[in-house]
Amino acid sequence: MGFFKEKPKTEREKVAERREEVLAQGRKFKYPMQYAKHKLIINTILVAIAAIILMVVAGWFMLYKIQDTGDMIYRVTQVIPVPVAEVAGEKVRYSDYLMIYRSNLETSEQQGGQLGTGDDADIVREGYKQAAMLAAVTYTYALKLGKEMGITVTNEEVDRAFDEHRKVGGIERSEESFLKILSDNFGMSKSEYRRMLYLNLMKVKVAQAVDKTATETATEVERLLSEKNGDFLEVAAELGERVQYEETGALIDNMNVDGGRSTKAMTLEAGQISEKFLSNNGDGYYYVKLNEKTDSQVNYASIKITFTEFDLMILKLYEDDMVKEYIELGADGVVSY
């Protein structure tokens, strides 16, 4: 018998005690569930990480080992800016390389039929890959120099170039019909073609800006034209290989695809000489002298000063090992600069 009699529990204490017993029983189920949930979250994260790693490895293998050029991998490179090469520290977009390669291949197959399989077809494809790599490297270096020199290409300039191409040959095509031509003959969408226009416009601007030799030659041409009473043949003979002289020798269609010379000649009067102007493809300057014209034909002589400095800069980059390609292209079909 104890000395102290246990004090009876109040109803509140009994309820609290009972509540604690119930909670204790509940914890037996709660904590295992929390552990299972926590484990499930960790496993899900691990699976997701493994899947991402697997996708990255598979993508890397398809891009840099197999060199897949199909639609799916091309779309991936348009979304994820992975590089295919590096030029003077600037990354070359894999998407630009594939865009150029696929377009050139599509054009070739439209004109000559599907390449098919076999060693000969592989050599042709390899040649197109080499050409696409060189073009992508060239455009990327132009973008790099353009950024450094403060040279820009605006959306309005791309719009104008797009409209000019749409009207090539004097035919007023609708945008819809022009886009069909792009798709059928070049395998390109509007956004892809605009990208090509942007790259080419930047290259043209940079090539023009860096070619001090062409500027000096143009000054020399203008001096000699003044001294020799506008005799293109004599000027060309004196300057030799620094310029290229051409004449139509007869009337030709005023919409002739000749770098813009026919169009320019139509704005002149007989015997008149144009000012210096940029060729349509941006590879140099032209001077044109009109001999005769009708409403739809022209006869002219021309002097061309070709841009060379930028091409020489690209060649030197290769010689100095400043171009690093991330894919291994075969020796067959190599396109040299």
Tens digit of pLDDT for each residue in 65-112? 878 888 989 999 999 999 999 999 999 999 999 999 999 998 888 887
Looking at residues 322-332, what average pLDDT do you find? Answer: 83
CB proximity list for 146: less than 8 A, separation 6 or greater: 152, 153, 202, 205, 206
Amino acid at 307: F
Evaluate whether 262 touches 322 at the Cβ level (below 8 Å): no
Which pLDDT does position 247 carry in this prediction?
Answer: 95
Helix (H) / strand (E) element for 252: namely strand 252-253
| Tens-digit pLDDT profile for residues 135-173 | 999 999 999 999 999 999 999 999 999 998 888 766 778
Evaluate whether 317 touches 330 at the Cβ level (below 8 Å): no
pLDDT category of residue 255 using cuts at 50, 70 and 90: confident
Residue 33 has pLDDT above 60, yes or no: no
Which of 317, 285, 327, 337 shows the shortest CA–CA distance to 88?
317
β partners of residue 278: 285
Residue 224 has pLDDT above 60, yes or no: yes
Looking at residues 307-327, what average pLDDT do you find? Answer: 96
Q: Which of 32-36, 178-182, 240-244 has the lowest mean pLDDT?
A: 32-36
Question: Mean of the per-residue pLDDT values for the chain?
Answer: 87
CB count in 10 Å sphere of residue 191: 9
Sign of torsion over alpha carbons 99, 105, 111, 113: negative
Model pTM score: 0.79
